Every structure is written in C-alpha cells, then in structure tokens.
Amino acid sequence: MNFELDQTELAVIDSVEHVAREVIAPRAKHYDETETFCAESLQALAELGCMGVNLPEHYGGLGIGSLAMSRVVEAVAGACASTASALTAHFLATDSILIGGTEAQKQEWLPRAASGELLGAFALTEPAAGSNPADMRCRAQREEGGWRLHGSKHYITNAREAGFIVLYAKTDAEAGHKGISAFVIPQGTAGISFSSPEKTMGLRGSTIYELALDCWLPESALLGTEGQGFNTAMAVLDRGRVEVAAMSLGIANAAMQCSLDWVRERQIGPKPLAAYQGTQWRLAEMYAQLEGARMLTWKAAVRRDSGGRFSLDSATAKLVAAESAGFITDAALQLHGGYGYIRDLPLERYVRDARILRIFEGTSEVQKIIISRGLLEAR
C-alpha cells in the first residue's frame, strides 16, 4: 500500500503544521478554560484553504488525497482538539452535500464552505436516536411548495455558528431507514431554536447544542432525492471515522511528545525518570499503540480514495485509534505524576479531549458491530 504524498500535499501539510504550531496551539488553553468557540483558529485554517481540504478542486477544495487530509487533521488536533472537532464536523456537512446533493446544490454550497465563508453543521443524532439513526423521530412532511420539519436534534457541533445545517429527518415514518431524507437548512431559517452550549468534559472550544425545529423549507432544501438520506449519512460517517482516527493520532502524539520531554528532564533521585525500566516499558507501550493506530488510519485513508467500500477499514481505524488515544493520554498523565493532574500542563486536557473519541461517529461498541459484520459477510 502506497503512503507516498506528492509535493503539493506535502506543502499543504507543512503549512498547516506551521499554523497549528504558531497560531492554533497558543489559543487552545484559552478556548478550553473560557469555553469560547474556536472561531479564530478556524479562520486561520480558512486562510490556508483547509475548510475545503476534503473537497475536489472544482468545488473550491484543495484536491488533495485523504491520506494528506488525515495528516492535516492530525496536525490540527495535536495543537487544539476543539478546533479539529469543529473542522471535522464541517467536513461531515460538506461531505453530505458532496455525496448526496444535486449538482446545483453542490455549486450553491460547497465553494462557499470551502472558502470558509460558511461553516457547516451535521444534524443526525437525537436524544432517543444516537447509535441507530433509523430510530429518529424528527419528521419532514410535504406541504405546498416545500416541507414542514418538526422535532429535535441533540449534540450538534457548530449548530448555532453554522452558515448551514445538513439535517436528517424521516419523510416516511413507516419505511424505517429507507424513509430518511436529508435537508440543507440555511442560517436564520425561522422556526429553529438552539439550547445553550452543552457543558462538556472536553473539546470545550467546539460547542454543541440541542436543536428544536418547527420550520418550513422550500422544495429545493431537500438534499438529492427523497429517501436517500440514510445511505448518504452512512457514507459520510464512513469518511468521518477516518477523520476521528486522525484526530486520535493528533491528541495521542501530542501526549507522547510531552511525555518524552518530561521523562528526560524530570529527576527522580540521582537519575532522570527516563533511566528507569518501568518508564521505558510504558513509553514502548505508548509508542507501539500509536504506530499501530497510525498504520490503520493511513490504510483506511488510502482505501477511502480507492472508490470501493472501506467501512471495515474505517471502523477498524476509528476503534483502534480512539482506544489507543485513551490509553496514551492516560499513560502520559501518569508519567507526569501530580504535575499531570494540574491544569498548568496540557495533560489533563488531552485526557478530557480524547474521551469523546470513543463515543462520537459511532461508539467503540458500534465499531465492533461494523467490523464483525464485515468479517462475517466476507466471501
């Protein structure tokens, strides 16, 4: 499998790594402590063209491959996981239009999203329908000239800040997952209300909301064709799991690098902490998990561009990378002892930020279902 990148892709990654280090990382602590939305960091990425890093050039994107995009997400997440969360939520919205939209809808929304003019949000989850979207209760009913939407959505990243929301609703309550359709809702649409931002454990600079809907949309708001929404959402989530895996790598690698610096400098008795075998073994375990997760993520990214099914690869990468990030960040905090527990160092933030990776875009348990189903159905 080829993991080589071309010169354009390497230049994009180099630019993002520079901005992540010089612009985004210095703001991460502020976003976390004040629970302020990461608007400035997203603007810095927009100036590089990275709000469309997942899109083809003819829709305003950079036209780079998924492996390079994963490296971009990893760099951003290592600097500020909140910014990476807001960025990848935007990708879920634009991927929805790219995969499920008409050509007119792609032309209307994607170039403005790629430039950073419009931020996107992806509204699938509901209070009673998380891991199984077919259980959603949000309804869309045909009316003269359009649709009436009513219901609620929960845990929607970017919702209030977004210039548009791609929202999934039942258009046929009796058809199960085949009765789900998607809609593009512009900012300012009457009949949508937002909760206050949720008080989250981590990713505090990437705000999430509950939405209540009783709104009218024109016929043109239907994304693609009626009943196509479930297939679109599943394809989008396959792509998004590669991005969550890349986020996991970024957070885990940041914790790993902090640990290497710390154990070289921290004196325990007459020797640095790095001189003790227990420390060395822990570092080896962290590194092995990080590298294993990285190879699975890169493999899934390459498969994502292959044109074939990659659900098994993306689920495996997401499962392993998210679980590894949990282990690595916790191990890093442990190596720092009491210093890791205080908020002067970023270790406790890494632990908090990494925890959600085992939940969103499908829990680790859901990934195991996808993986086992893929194995059992293989011929």
Write out the two tokens for 306.
Answer: 């292959």
Query: What number of other Cβ atoms are within 10 A of residue 233's Cβ?
Result: 24
- Distance of alpha carbon 1 from alpha carbon 342, whole angstroms: 43
C-beta of residue 329 within 8 angstroms of C-beta of residue 175: no
**Residues taking part in catalysis:** 361
- Distance of alpha carbon 264 from alpha carbon 278, whole angstroms: 14
- Distance of alpha carbon 108 from alpha carbon 97, whole angstroms: 10
- Distance of alpha carbon 248 from alpha carbon 354, whole angstroms: 7
C-beta of residue 317 within 8 angstroms of C-beta of residue 297: yes
Query: What number of other Cβ atoms are within 10 A of residue 108's Cβ?
Result: 15
Three-class SS state of 126? strand
Find tokens 């009218």 and name the residue: 216
Find tokens 């649709």 and name the residue: 147
**Residue 368: in which H helix or E strand, if any?**
helix 364-377
